[in-house]
Structure 1
């Protein structure tokens, strides 16, 4: 006769397998569909939307394990470190002062928008701070939880802004400035699973493992991401190849999307929809302030309008790069500014978040 405990354990394993299978069936088609049409951060957003739908329709207790989240942070750290290239360093050397001005102006704009949300909106202080930070969306979501923010709201704010920025930047590049935005080549499954050189791939995995472990042992908030980013950036600048297989980065984004999406419930969804007007207003306020910064660069520094607009754009680095590729712009300047801003926001974002929390209204004021 089977032992009751073993039968119970077997039933629970089967139930969890069923839950994960259902999550895969819902989220992966969304992720691949978004990727095939060229949607920014497709695997993360698709997986997150699928996980939200699944969490709201199927009562499950399935969650992404914490160690998996640490691995995701390490992989994202390697992805950021890849941006430190010779062209990046050359651009920083030539135009470092201008880039610093652009980056600081964009970060200050994000901090001001965050202050408005914290002071007059209905969002918690740390959530508003991280959600309004103009850095890489996936990096902001990966860091937010460890500083007390609600990753569900942060993710919603970040990717709402990504969509709005992509639409705005595309319209500006195509119609207002008479430039032709790039139409990236259609993605294919062969490119997603393309083979990568063995030695650089192993080097990258070694950096991810070392950075993840050091970050975890250091007890630094989001240490797996920060330490891996810094370690990989230094090594990449010294000539060490960092090669991330496309499928591995996609898998990390899927895991992060699940991590965020599975935390949604009906109460948080009602809260999100209630906050949409102020989130849209804050998004367009940030875009407008960054647009003003681009005008200042054009007027007083001599940059061409499209280069200035894309360099100050508060969207994701990948989205801006796609738009810039097919336009007559200073591409290395744009990439360098966007990458430098990502590094600075990741490094100083916690301090800005803590500062903004001082202005949060008491619960009774809401």
Structure 2
């Protein structure tokens, strides 16, 4: 019953946001309405992570279709630029954490983990492994950052940095384009990619696994993956939005006064840095500015992928840049964070100025 209630609320959100021509209506609409209803009820709504994972498999399949040998070669040539973009974006996040520490009473380690543009779940897991960290504050900061990015970047990309949403490929003639065995074959490739991705512990495995699996088959066989019907893409976006909305506890945000303005200012700083880096990437690679901005923006692979599908950006390039940053944050940043905290504690003798 709880899932049905959430689904109906998410549908209303999608319809309302479509009616007002909001960016990514079938993602942002469910996020807004589901989280607001949870705030009014003072208890988050429920949504199944299994349903979200199925939706991510479908979106991952759609994002893996455009990969070709040529794009793979272009991605390999841009690896140094990807690492530079990652370094610049993460550095801006660290600086935002320092500003947060200076302007609030929250300790330095918590501010650092709360402001770096990584995934919410990854930062919370890392925070749990470090001492003197306020897990609630990290969760709230990452939630506010995610909300700011999820709403700002699609609006900028769709209404300012591109010519608007691309014409929808309805995919309603899917049966005419491919027979059912072909459709089932590609579905199996995507599902197998998700299973293997989870088995080898890929980040965001249920989306990244299908992306890599479908791309690998397309590149190695020269087969053309069948299109996804637009209504199915909308349904997948709705399922993802419902899950994000049900994961946000807006009532917890008010418990940290003074955090919001500083964090929003920090998000604007990181967005400005990302936009500048996007200009550099666009100038050096010849990619459209929309593609370059989505590649360097401090959003998650899921949200940026949905936006890229909407505006017709180069999904393979965007995925490569976002994946590079995600892998850096998961594999390298924990050591960077511990090193920065160790240097800070050495300077202040293990005591936080804000604890005084």
Question: Does TM, scored on the shorter chain, surpass 0.5?
Answer: yes
SS of the residue 1:63 aligns to: coil
Residue 342 in structure 1 maps to residue 326 in structure 2: no
1:19-98 equivalences under 5 Å are 19-35=2-18, 38-58=21-41, 63-85=46-68, 88-89=71-72, 91-92=74-75, 97=77
SS of the residue 1:262 aligns to: helix
Question: Residue 203 of structure 1 aligns with which residue?
Answer: 185
When residues 355 and 242 of structure 1 are mapped into structure 2, their CA distance, relative to the original with a 3 A threshold, is farther
TM-score, normalised via structure 1 length: 0.67
Question: Residue 334 of structure 2 aligns with which residue?
Answer: 354
Deviates more, 1:253-262 or 1:353-362: 353-362
Task: Assess if the C-alpha contact under 8 Å between 1:114 and 1:356 holds in 2.
Answer: no
1:182 pairs with one of 163, 166, 180: 163
Task: Assess if the C-alpha contact under 8 Å between 1:74 and 1:209 holds in 2.
Answer: yes
SS of the residue 1:47 aligns to: helix
Residue 281 in structure 1 maps to residue 253 in structure 2: no
Question: C-alpha distance in 1, partners of 2:188/2:282?
Answer: 43
How far residue 311 of structure 1 moved from its aligned partner, in angstroms, is 1.9
How far residue 276 of structure 1 moved from its aligned partner, in angstroms, is 3.1
SS of the residue 1:210 aligns to: helix
Residue 234 in structure 1 maps to residue 216 in structure 2: yes
- The RMSD of aligned alpha carbons is 4.1
TM-score, normalised via structure 2 length: 0.68
Question: Residue 103 of structure 1 aligns with which residue?
Answer: 82
When residues 61 and 318 of structure 1 are mapped into structure 2, their CA distance, relative to the original with a 3 A threshold, is closer
1:130-209 equivalences under 5 Å are 132-133=117-118, 140=119, 154=142, 156-166=144-154, 168=156, 181-184=162-165, 191=170, 195=174, 197=178, 198-209=180-191
Unaligned 5+ residue runs, structure 2? Answer: 101-105, 128-134, 298-303, 345-350
Question: Residue 252 of structure 2 aligns with which residue?
Answer: 268
Question: C-alpha distance in 1, partners of 2:182/2:158?
Answer: 35
Question: Residue 3 of structure 1 aligns with which residue?
Answer: none
Question: Residue 8 of structure 1 aligns with which residue?
Answer: none
How far residue 88 of structure 1 moved from its aligned partner, in angstroms, is 2.5
Aligned residues: 317
Question: Residue 328 of structure 1 aligns with which residue?
Answer: none
SS of the residue 1:57 aligns to: helix
SS of the residue 1:191 aligns to: coil
Task: Assess if the C-alpha contact under 8 Å between 1:30 and 1:50 holds in 2.
Answer: yes
Which string of whole-angstrom CA distances, capped at 9 and with x for unpartnered residues, describes residues 196-235 of structure 1?
6444432332123212333344455543334333222211
How far residue 356 of structure 1 moved from its aligned partner, in angstroms, is 5.0
How far residue 341 of structure 1 moved from its aligned partner, in angstroms, is 0.7
How far residue 112 of structure 1 moved from its aligned partner, in angstroms, is 0.9
Deviates more, 1:256-265 or 1:158-167: 158-167
Question: C-alpha distance in 2, partners of 1:34/1:321?
Answer: 18
Deviates more, 1:45-54 or 1:277-286: 277-286
Task: Assess if the C-alpha contact under 8 Å between 2:281 and 2:292 holds in 1.
Answer: no
Question: C-alpha distance in 2, partners of 1:200/1:40?
Answer: 33
Question: Residue 177 of structure 1 aligns with which residue?
Answer: none
Residue 254 in structure 1 maps to residue 271 in structure 2: no
Question: C-alpha distance in 2, partners of 1:298/1:264?
Answer: 34
Question: C-alpha distance in 1, partners of 2:236/2:317?
Answer: 25
How far residue 344 of structure 1 moved from its aligned partner, in angstroms, is 1.9
